[in-house]
Structure 1
Amino acid sequence: MSETLPPLLPLLVGVPLLLGGLGAALRKNKRARHVLSLGTLSAMLIFAVVLVIVTHDGTILAHQVGFWDYGISIPFVVDALTSSVLLIMTALALTSVLFAMATHEARARFFHPFVMILMAGVSGALMTGDIFNLFVFIEVMLLPSYGLLATMGAKLGANGARIFVTVNLLASTLLLVGVGLVYATAGTVNLAELHGAAADDPAVAVAGGVVLTAISIKAAVVPVHGWLTRTYPMTSPAVTALFSGIHTKVAIYAIYRIYSLLFDGDERFLWIALLVTSLTMLVGVLGAIGEKTTRSILVFSMISHIGFILLAVGLFTGLGLTAGIFYLLHHMIVKASLFLSTGAMEETYGTGEIDRLGGMAKREPLLAVTFMVAALSLVGLPPFSGFVAKFSIIQATLELSHYWVAAVALLVSVLTMLAMLKIWTGVFMGAEPKNLDERALAYQERMHGKRYLRVQAQAENPTLTIGPPTATTSAVLSGERAVKIPLKLILPSVILAVITLFFGLGAEVLMTLSESAAENLLNPEGYVEAVSGA
């Protein structure tokens, strides 16, 4: 199987790219777009599972696209790190699309094409074996992302979209400059040929530093993190969940890969990573505690955990990288589950402000349990996956006697718990506002129109006719029943919460995969050999 798979790797880019264009051509057939998108993402998910099975033992797949000679073609390379990240990202894209279909956001003509083209860029960025094409595929990711943000701009305001576009254009320009400097100093952009170049040549190290700086902006590392907090809360919950598991995580993946190959894990620069990631952890969690909406708290918390994940690069040991990769995979699932949980409330009740919600544990028990599972995993309590990730990270810092970093990590974990308690006590355990149902109906009518409410009422009771006033609306306003979050809105977050619970109880499976990925980063000779011999 390992011999037949490499020529198929370009399909992960080509198929969603072509089908995305086909989906855009389907102007009026919404159902066909749904089927096309779900089918494409499901096929990518199955392919990613196969890649994980093949590469989990350290096997590295490499292919020169178009069967051109080495050094001329675009190399696609897949190891345990690539396949596992691709698998989780595809799963997140699929659940985010299901959520968008439940909220009717996916009815927009270009929603599904944008997602498919985005995933084509993601696949290319993860698999490419040279930094110029990393830049190209990141741009392929960004173009549909601009479209998704612009689509929601009319609904939630375009300010966040402007910031996202401006910052990413700046970061992309800096990245292109860095790639040019690497080529000028090293004579190549092929990662296999660049192995150890920055460790041997100060000029290449400076060029590589420009590349890493640009990617760090895209990863939202402190102090270049502000764009994330002003962008993600301003789009729809489905897009926020999708972006949370893709954009910054592709950048994190690139940092892992580039430091492993270009810098060969050079110990001289690790103190910079330790300092920056510690600041990222602290600034992110302190910002989360000060926010007043569920999504803003989660976005700031996301920045904090980006620091946790990248801390592994500052350690660059077997245990540290294993823990960091485990943390990366766990965090993508957990954070998306939390975004979708709170997003279900926003889509139903029209707000994410903590002081305008309350009593959700009694009103929405399934959502409360789902949020609690993901939140406890984010905090790092056993038996959830977050406990294994954080314990391993702290153990790795102590192994190198970085006691101050371990202290920061422990402090941030406690503060993360306070941030999650802020949401839990205010939203789920707080007193239920008296006008919650009326505000929810007003929001749904404003966003979807009166006919939407009547169709929803008829869906609950087929004997009703579609005409004012609806039975549902009348019952709510008279106090006979309460607005409830539809099950289809909760299920995507439930699926992800179950996955993180599995990751915690079956941590050995994910830890073994992470160890294999870490070994390839620590000893990239196998990567170099696979690419040059493909």
Structure 2
Amino acid sequence: MSGGLVVLPVVAPLTAAGLLVLLGSTRAGISLVMRRVAGVGVSTGVLVVAAVLLTAAMDGQRPVLRLGGWPSGIAITLVADVFSALVVTVTALLVVASLVFAAATGEDQDPSFIPLALVLSTGVYGALLTADLFNLFVFVEVMLVPSYVLLTAGGGRQRLAAGRLYVTVNLLASTVFLGGIGLVYGVTGTVNLGELAGAAAAGPAAALAGAVVLLAMAVKSAVVPLHSWLPGTYSATGPAVTVLFSGLLTKVGVYALIRIYAVVYDGDRRYLWLLMAAALLTMVVGVLGAVGEKAVRPVLTFHMVSQIGYMLLGLALFTGAGLAAAVFFLVQYVLVKAALLMVAGAVEVGYGTGELARLGGLMRREPALAVAFAVSALALVGIPPLSGFVAKLGLATAAVAERQHLAAAVVAGVSLLTLTSMLKVWNAVFWQPAPDGDRADEGPHDADSRAPSPHDDAERSATTGVRTRLRPALTAPALLLTGLSVVLGLWADPLLTVAAAAADGLVDTGGYVTAVTAR
């Protein structure tokens, strides 16, 4: 397969974003419908390209492109193996779903929203496909710059405060990252991942330099104790932006942690205890934070921290089974978490709040939304036969095989606490009556006294006679992603096969290194 296909996920959204900005600045401008068509269309095209790359990688190919025709070590090298192609595929799917959800919430009415989302996705795809640490830094910064703007879009004191925290932490992490890259180059004379294969085993200097890079990625991944910025920022931005961030920003950090440790450290078992400690601590602290929250999105954002720990657990085991379970977990988690955040966003848009104490009775008012939440929450917990059960069972089994019985126990214990927090949200938002008396039919506010809203249809169901505030466009994206998570649980074999192939490429990086170095 031609390596030229590898660059399309980077070039296509960036070009589309530039054209949208250029056309939007003309006197004629460009309509919202055209912006939406361009954003979803380009992202769908990237999804197709990623699926083609994944198919080629599963056939044993590793499409490579060295931009400018320069030799390895100098050229910007992009390569698609099974791991990177799979993550690009699920990322592109999430971008499409996020743009559709943004159209439903109305967040994309800002002319800059779709171009910023496309630039953000450009940085993500580039970070996933690059085989060079410095270019990884560049793509991460390309990813972060539009995220700063998207986070604070709409103004407000809370968002601006969250933006300051987000910018401060990420600039600090980027500084550490760049310093680590400089140390790696100073010690080894290269930042090309292929040429850095096994470099950390050559001596303590290279291992320490690589550790600085991993530390920066741990901050960007929100690994405990470097995690507090995530729940403090993601809960403050727009609902669609939170969905977009959930599957992109921290997942790039997790991907980089796995890739760098697999290649540069060659899975060195001397340091796995540190990764194990970080993984278990992240799982426990994240879920405890979620149990204590009193609004839907803060609960879910703390769970994002906890779920990152599950992915790190697979890396800490560094076996084929453990890494395969971690890859499977990453894919299904992106879909499940996005669906839950879409439910939270739909509730906020339709009912004006996400606070548990101010909601109630939505199981009768919004049955489709209730189904999306219930199924996705059960998948997040790991209830069979849903996708989360397949992933967590794989992680627990891999931990037991390595005699990491504490890790297996933490997987089970954190799942129980996850169930507790999900039941708290379910009871408060969907099951119990509205807090202002027996008025579930009217919702938390008097439906007849509210000012009309473009996202509030206030239609009466023909079957229940209950007034609803949410249009189908607000619930459909969550239902679609929920359905995909169910499919991944009931028919897990195809994804398990792909995840196993990705894990094989991480345990034995010889093929990846050969593709990158052309040697």
Give TM-score scaled by structure 2 length. Answer: 0.94
What are the equivalent positions in structure 2 for 1:33-72 lying under 5 Å apart? 33-72=35-74
Match of 1:11 in 2: 8
One-letter amino acid of the counterpart of residue 234, structure 1: A
The structural deviation recorded for 1:327 is 0.5
Match of 1:463 in 2: none
What are the equivalent positions in structure 2 for 1:487-526 lying under 5 Å apart? 487-526=472-511
Match of 2:403 in 1: 401
Mapped partners of 2:154, 2:223: distance in 1: 26
Describe the shift of the 1:20–1:359 C-alpha distance in structure 2 as closer, same or farther (beyond 3 A): same
Aligned with 2:223: secondary structure? coil
The structural deviation recorded for 1:155 is 8.4
Describe the shift of the 1:362–1:442 C-alpha distance in structure 2 as closer, same or farther (beyond 3 A): closer
Mapped partners of 2:157, 2:491: distance in 1: 41
Match of 2:18 in 1: 21
Q: 1:131 aligns with which of 130, 133, 144?
A: 133
Structure 2 unaligned residues grouped into runs of 5+: none
Aligned with 1:221: secondary structure? coil
Mapped partners of 1:95, 1:108: distance in 2: 18
Mapped partners of 1:219, 1:157: distance in 2: 21
One-letter amino acid of the counterpart of residue 108, structure 1: D
Structure 1 unaligned residues grouped into runs of 5+: 461-471
Whether 1:486 aligns to 2:486 is: no
Contact 2:372–2:479 (CA<8 Å) still a contact in 1?
A: yes
One-letter amino acid of the counterpart of residue 96, structure 2: L
Match of 1:195 in 2: 197
Contact 2:243–2:342 (CA<8 Å) still a contact in 1?
A: yes
Match of 1:386 in 2: 388
Mapped partners of 2:490, 2:278: distance in 1: 32
One-letter amino acid of the counterpart of residue 491, structure 2: G
The structural deviation recorded for 1:481 is 6.2
The structural deviation recorded for 1:444 is 7.7
The structural deviation recorded for 1:503 is 0.5
The structural deviation recorded for 1:441 is 6.1
Match of 2:229 in 1: 227
Match of 1:84 in 2: 86
One-letter amino acid of the counterpart of residue 418, structure 1: T
Describe the shift of the 1:433–1:216 C-alpha distance in structure 2 as closer, same or farther (beyond 3 A): same
One-letter amino acid of the counterpart of residue 386, structure 2: F
Mapped partners of 2:446, 2:121: distance in 1: 34
Identity, in percent, stands at 44
The structural deviation recorded for 1:85 is 0.6
What are the equivalent positions in structure 2 for 1:32-431 lying under 5 Å apart? 32-154=34-156, 157-431=159-433
Aligned with 1:129: secondary structure? coil
One-letter amino acid of the counterpart of residue 514, structure 2: E
Mapped partners of 2:449, 2:320: distance in 1: 51
Mapped partners of 2:155, 2:240: distance in 1: 14
Contact 2:8–2:49 (CA<8 Å) still a contact in 1?
A: no
Aligned with 2:235: secondary structure? helix
Aligned with 1:94: secondary structure? helix
Contact 2:339–2:481 (CA<8 Å) still a contact in 1?
A: yes
Describe the shift of the 1:187–1:231 C-alpha distance in structure 2 as closer, same or farther (beyond 3 A): same
Mapped partners of 1:91, 1:529: distance in 2: 30
Mapped partners of 1:254, 1:32: distance in 2: 35
Match of 1:469 in 2: none
Aligned with 2:68: secondary structure? helix
Mapped partners of 1:34, 1:255: distance in 2: 34
One-letter amino acid of the counterpart of residue 533, structure 1: A
Aligned with 2:91: secondary structure? helix
Contact 1:58–1:516 (CA<8 Å) still a contact in 2?
A: no
Mapped partners of 2:354, 2:378: distance in 1: 20
Contact 2:198–2:266 (CA<8 Å) still a contact in 1?
A: yes
The structural deviation recorded for 1:7 is 1.6
Contact 2:359–2:444 (CA<8 Å) still a contact in 1?
A: no
Aligned with 1:265: secondary structure? coil
Aligned with 2:470: secondary structure? coil
Contact 1:349–1:443 (CA<8 Å) still a contact in 2?
A: no
Mapped partners of 1:232, 1:85: distance in 2: 22
Q: What CA deviation, in whole Å up to 9, does each residue of 1:87-129 have, x standing for no partner?
A: 1111111111111101111110100000111111111100000
Q: What CA deviation, in whole Å up to 9, does each residue of 1:295-324 have, x standing for no partner?
A: 111111111110001111110001000001
Aligned with 1:234: secondary structure? coil
Mapped partners of 1:517, 1:420: distance in 2: 31
Contact 2:124–2:140 (CA<8 Å) still a contact in 1?
A: yes
Mapped partners of 1:321, 1:233: distance in 2: 30
The structural deviation recorded for 1:154 is 3.6
Q: What CA deviation, in whole Å up to 9, does each residue of 1:364-412 have, x standing for no partner?
A: 1111111111111100011100001000000011001111111111110
Give TM-score scaled by structure 1 length. Answer: 0.92
One-letter amino acid of the counterpart of residue 271, structure 1: W
Q: What CA deviation, in whole Å up to 9, does each residue of 1:264-322 have, x standing for no partner?
A: 00000000000111000000001110100011111111111100011111100010000
Mapped partners of 1:420, 1:444: distance in 2: 30
One-letter amino acid of the counterpart of residue 62, structure 2: I
One-letter amino acid of the counterpart of residue 480, structure 2: I
Mapped partners of 2:511, 2:392: distance in 1: 29
Contact 1:57–1:516 (CA<8 Å) still a contact in 2?
A: no
Q: What CA deviation, in whole Å up to 9, does each residue of 1:8-60 have, x standing for no partner?
A: 22222122112101112333422221111111111111111111211124432
